Amino acid sequence: GASVGATTGGGGASALYIACQEGQLECARLLLEARASVGQADEDGATPLYIACQEGHVECVRLLLEASAAINQADGEGTTPLYIACEKGNLECVRLLLEASAAVDQV
C-alpha cells in the first residue's frame, strides 16, 4: 500500500496537506489516525496547519492543533500560520491559534 507520508511530484505536498488544503476533515482525521506526520511540509516549507489557516478550514485547524501541530512553524519565507490566517482574514483560525498560544510577535 501507499505510505501516508508520500508526496505529490509537483510540490512535495503530502496527502494530509492536500486534505487540509481542501477542507477534507474526515480524510485528515483518518490520515492522522494512520500516523501521517502532522508537521510534514511541502517544498515551500508550508505545513498542513499553515495551508488550513490560509484556506480558512477551521475544523482542520482545530484537528491539527489537537494533534500537536507546531503552531509557530513558519514556511520557507518565514510566514507563520497566524500571519497567513490574519492576512487572509480567517478570524476563526486566528482565534484558535491565539487560544493555543501562537506567538504574536513571530511573523
pLDDT exceeds 70 at position 25 = yes
Q: 40 phi and psi, to 5 degrees?
A: -70, 115
All domains of the chain in start order, with CATH:
15-99 (1.25.40.20)
What pLDDT band is residue 11 in, cutting at 50, 70 and 90? confident
The C-alpha atoms of residue 83 and residue 35 are separated, in whole angstroms, by: 27
Query: What pLDDT is attached to residue 12?
Result: 87
Query: ∠ CA 79-57-18 to the nearest 5 degrees?
Result: 75
Using the CB atoms, write b or e for 45-65: b if 16+ within 10 Å. ebbbbbbbbbbbbbbbbbbbb
Query: What pLDDT is attached to residue 3?
Result: 61
Counting runs of H as helices and runs of E as strands, what totals does the chain give? 6, 0
Query: What pLDDT is attached to residue 104?
Result: 96
Q: What is the pTM of this model?
A: 0.92
Digit-coded pLDDT (tens) for 61-96: 999 999 999 999 999 999 999 999 999 999 999 999
Query: What pLDDT is attached to residue 26?
Result: 99
Query: What pLDDT is attached to residue 6?
Result: 61
Q: What is the mean pLDDT of the chain?
A: 93
pLDDT exceeds 70 at position 8 = no
